[in-house]
Each structure stands twice: as C-alpha cells, then as structure tokens.
Structure 1
Amino acid sequence: MTDTVAVAGDRIRSIIEPIERIEEEITDPMENKKEVFAKAEGEGLDVKVLKEMLKIRKQDKDKCDEYATLLYVYMRAMDAPSAPEMSKAA
C-alpha cells in the first residue's frame, strides 16, 4: 500500500507543482499591472476609463464600431445630454 500511496502522491505532485509555478508566473504580471495603473492614477488619469479602453482595444474593429453606434443610438433615444457625437464614439 505504501508504494501505491507514493505513486499517487508523485502523480498528484507532478500536477500540482506546475500549476503552482504557473500561478506564481501569473501573479508577477498582475502586480506589474497594478503598479502601472497606480502610476497612471498618480498622474491624474482615470483608471476606470483606461481599463475600458483596454477592453475595447481587444475587440475587433467591427465590434468596436457596432458598440459605439449602439451606445450613440441608445443615448440619443433617451435624449441623454451626454450622448457622444458619432465622430468621437467611432
């Protein structure tokens, strides 16, 4: 039974340890990202807007254009005073 436990333990360890290393590798870039956002905030930039920009830039151009158009249409439909101009939104 000891051999079976040792083999199972080795197999489990061979799975867990690489995952732990990956998690450590993920943590470093996340900390770097937080530092960059903190610097941006310190320079007076709005972090929420920057994050939205990153989200939009990851989309393909057609989806971005569609989103901007829908936002404009919906805001205009409500006669919202803050409806962006299409030239600015697109």
Structure 2
Amino acid sequence: MSGTGHNSGADAHGIARDQLRAFVERIERLDEEAKALNDDRKDVYGEAKGCGFDVKILKRVIAIRRQDRDQRLEEEAILDTYLHALGMIDLPPGDD
C-alpha cells in the first residue's frame, strides 16, 4: 500500500462525480434554453406565415444570408450553368 491513504481514492471519485454532475446540469440547462429558442423561432415563423409570407422561402433567405457572399455567388453560377445545360433557364446574353 502507498502512503496516500484509503480515503484519497474516494475523494478523487467524489470530485469526478461533482464535475460530471456539473457538466450534466449545464448541458441540461443549455438544452432547455435551446428548446425555448426553437419554440420562439417556430412562433416567429408562424407569425410570418400569418402575415402571408412563405415560410419555406423565408428559411431559404435566412440560409442564404448566413453564407459567405463569394461562396453564394459561386454556387449560384454553378446552379445557373446546370439549369441552362438542362434547358431549364436561358442565360443572359454574353454568358453562353
């Protein structure tokens, strides 16, 4: 046996248990906050829908606003190229 004593292992477990409990409780609080925010978000979308806005398009607009401008422009150019190749859109003059 080493000179650390019998209770030192229990103390380490107690500290780990306390840390674990603190992490779990923090995560639970964050989950509750996230749920509340998601509920608020649903309410806002419902409100927008009630005012005649298309929620699907509204979500797409929000996703686009989150994108980097250059990345978005590049993706739009590629999308236009694919749609043009499939005969789904006409490209403006000079873009052929």
Give the TM-score range, shorter chain: 0.7 to 0.9
Match of 1:14 in 2: 22
Question: What TM-score, normalized to structure 2?
Answer: 0.72
Q: Give 1:4's aligned residue.
A: 10
Q: Which residue number corresponds to residue 32 of structure 1?
A: 40
1:1-90 maps to which residues of 2 (within 5 A)?
Answer: 4=10, 7=14, 8-80=16-88, 83=89
1:37 positional shift: 0.6
Which structure exhibits the higher relative contact order, with contacts defined as CA atoms closer than 8 Å and separated by 6 or more residues?
1
Q: Unaligned stretches of 5+ in structure 1?
A: none
Corresponding residue pairs, total: 84
Q: Cα RMSD over matched residues?
A: 2.6
* Percent of pairs with identical residues: 34
- C-alpha distance in structure 1 between counterparts of 2:78 and 2:53, whole Å: 26
Tell me by how many angstroms 1:10 deviates. 2.5
Q: Aligned equivalents of 2:77 and 2:47: distance in 1? A: 32
* Superposition TM-score, scaled by structure 1 size: 0.76
Q: Which ranges in structure 2 are unaligned for 5 or more consecutive residues? A: 1-8
Instruction: State the SS of the aligned residue for 2:52.
Output: coil
Specify the code of the residue in structure 1 equivalent to 2:10: T
